[in-house]
Chain A
């Protein structure tokens, strides 16, 4: 999975170049640069308040960095709004689940297909011919590719707001996948899950990243060191807005600065197990 060091630039899916972001006088991230290659799982770790989520929000357009450039597939996307970036193929899940509570699981995932659907106000209100066919085609996709993958058949008609947290996280992943993204940002997908759900979710992430059907590049923010070390191809360490290092899991584990800032002196990265 890891691209060789000498790989050419077209392999780079997302590139952050010297990003600075401050809220008033609170400086969130300082001069962060990051390159994500196609097919990687690239993790971002760091203590709370390090600026990980700010970085994610910069990538998908919820925040505009004051300085620096963001390139997606070689194109500069600084000026694009979140929904325009979604059309390019950037999808994400949130740290605190942000599902559409009043809609059913199926409708949540259908909503993820929004950019692939074509009907408008007039054709939608008539719901004939093309629109009806389109809905059925996409339903087929959702059932066969997503609901089947994530094993949520039994809850497909339940309103998401009534589901337990673990399933909401799974629905959120399903919704993000429905977009058929090239880059999937996972902001703490394992937070608040029990051990079994963590294992399931890690398996889904691997399926999505390695499965022939998907091959989605993942940008993962996570505190569970065991999972991060196991899944990631590359790890990026952030501390109070500053880059500490960017390297393979082995390098990160042996880096004294990382240990000092985040991992701790003891063997803490296996906390959950």
Chain B
């Protein structure tokens, strides 16, 4: 399902056109429309609640991209991605709170952007550390070693040691005005929304570019057949670790982005369930597809929000629903995954691909 059919009368005259991103003017128009909607329409019309839902979607996309890269493109099943998001978030927070920044950088508003970059690199390296077992183990065994990453990082190191730095207690609160990019202080959902858009677009473009160049192909080759990948000249261990690095890098960006939306961070923001959730997102969206990551994120966040909206009026009749919402959420998550595994194992992205081809080939669909 990697390539779509071109519509009638569209043909390429050179390889550059065939390698292009947007191969028809129709697609270019569609992308411009999408940009207008994302940059103009949504922020202008949406209320603060919808914007916060959008931010949640963006955060899920950033988190799930790394999981998609590892599971969907490199075949390394991971169940500990929240750990790397946590590492990103904590690195960024600690840098902002504890690092003796020169006055100049603080007034120029560079402290937070620099901390995002550093957090991404630290999370990437941390991820490589837990990717090392992938050189030896595969499949189910690797799942367990990545789960170890979750428990060692979040439940042990962060809760027991990192949280104690500075003597603030369990939660680190970020004073207003510390999250600042250039002249803009990120203090409301609208600004978080724009930051989210920029980061999501950069990360998605980066991953798509990687996947159509040498490293990305090596990852997919390792997923499909690691022995013949090695015979074709790919250093399998190196590329697996690279995949872990890039996944951790994006996880770090996700974590340090999310602190702009939270007043305080604590280890409870990064539970093991969040790692599992991200795997669910890519299963529903479609394993091995960037579209799938985005669709899955939108689907999961929106469905949970709709459930919440549905539960509130029902709670007047049956008040216990509100208390039980956490469990309803988890049950819905499980049900959604079951349903997708049975009825559409290729995820939402496959449906999207079918739709696109239908319209491209219309009216002669043979």
Contacts and interface: CB of A to CB of B under 8 A. Distances in A.
Interface of A: 60, 62, 81-83, 86-87, 91-92, 94, 98-104, 107, 110-112, 114-115, 117-121, 123-127, 131-132, 135-136, 139-140, 143, 157, 159, 175-176, 179
A83 B235 contact: yes
B252 to A, nearest CB: 15
B176 to A, nearest CB: 34
Contacts of B228: 94, 98-100
Contacts of B118: none
Given A115-B233, A140-B15, A175-B232, A104 B217 contact: no
7 contacts: A62-B230, A99-B224, A102-B288, A111-B229, A119-B213, A121-B242, A157-B3
A124 B215 CA distance: 7
B356 interface: no
A126 B209 CA distance: 7
Nearest to A87: B233
A85 B1 CA distance: 33
Given A82-B231, A100-B229, A120-B214, 14 more contacts: A81-B235, A83-B231, A83-B232, A83-B236, A98-B225, A99-B224, A103-B217, A103-B224, A114-B214, A119-B213, A119-B215, A121-B215, A126-B206, A136-B19
B205 to A, nearest CB: 8
Contacts of B214: 114, 117-120, 124
Interface of B: 1-3, 15-16, 18-19, 206-207, 209-210, 212-218, 220-221, 223-225, 227-236, 242, 245-246, 288
Given A62-B227, A111-B218, A125 B207 contact: yes
* Residue of B18, B206, B228 with most partner-chain A CB within 10 A: B228
B19 A124 contact: no
A103 B220 contact: yes
A102 B242 CA distance: 21
Contacts of A98: 225, 227-228
A86 B1 CA distance: 30
A115 B242 CA distance: 17
A62 B225 CA distance: 14
Contacts of B246: 121
A86 B233 contact: yes
B218 A114 contact: yes
Nearest to B288: A102
A86 B232 contact: yes
A152 to B, nearest CB: 15
* Residue of B3, B216, B231, B245 with most partner-chain A CB within 10 A: B231
Given A119-B213, A121-B210, A124-B213, A102 B16 contact: no
A119 B236 CA distance: 16
Contacts of A112: 232
B107 to A, nearest CB: 30
A124 to B, nearest CB: 4
Contact of A102 (B213, B220, B232): B220
A100 B224 contact: yes
A77 B16 CA distance: 40
Nearest to B75: A102
Contact of B224 (A81, A101, A123): A101
Contacts of A179: 232-233
A92 B231 contact: yes
A159 B16 CA distance: 21
A127 B212 contact: yes
Nearest to A90: B231
Contacts of A159: 1-2
A126 B245 CA distance: 17
B9 to A, nearest CB: 18
A205 B15 CA distance: 28
Contacts of A94: 228
Contacts of A86: 231-233
Contacts of A87: 233
A125 B206 contact: yes
A131 B213 contact: yes
A83 B209 contact: no
A156 to B, nearest CB: 9
A104 B221 CA distance: 11
A83 B220 CA distance: 16
Nearest to B18: A139
A126 to B, nearest CB: 7
Given A60-B231, A82-B230, A104 B3 contact: yes
Contacts of B223: 102
B220 A136 contact: no
A100 to B, nearest CB: 4
B234 A114 contact: yes
A134 to B, nearest CB: 8
A174 B228 CA distance: 14
A189 B339 CA distance: 43
Contacts of A114: 214, 217-218, 232-234
Contacts of B227: 62, 98
* Residue of B2, B209, B227, B233 with most partner-chain A CB within 10 A: B233
Contacts of B3: 104, 157
Q: Which 7 A-B residue pairs are closest in the complex by CB-CB distance?
A: A86-B233, A124-B213, A127-B209, A100-B224, A98-B228, A125-B206, A115-B233
A81 B230 CA distance: 9
* Residue of B213, B215, B216 with most partner-chain A CB within 10 A: B213
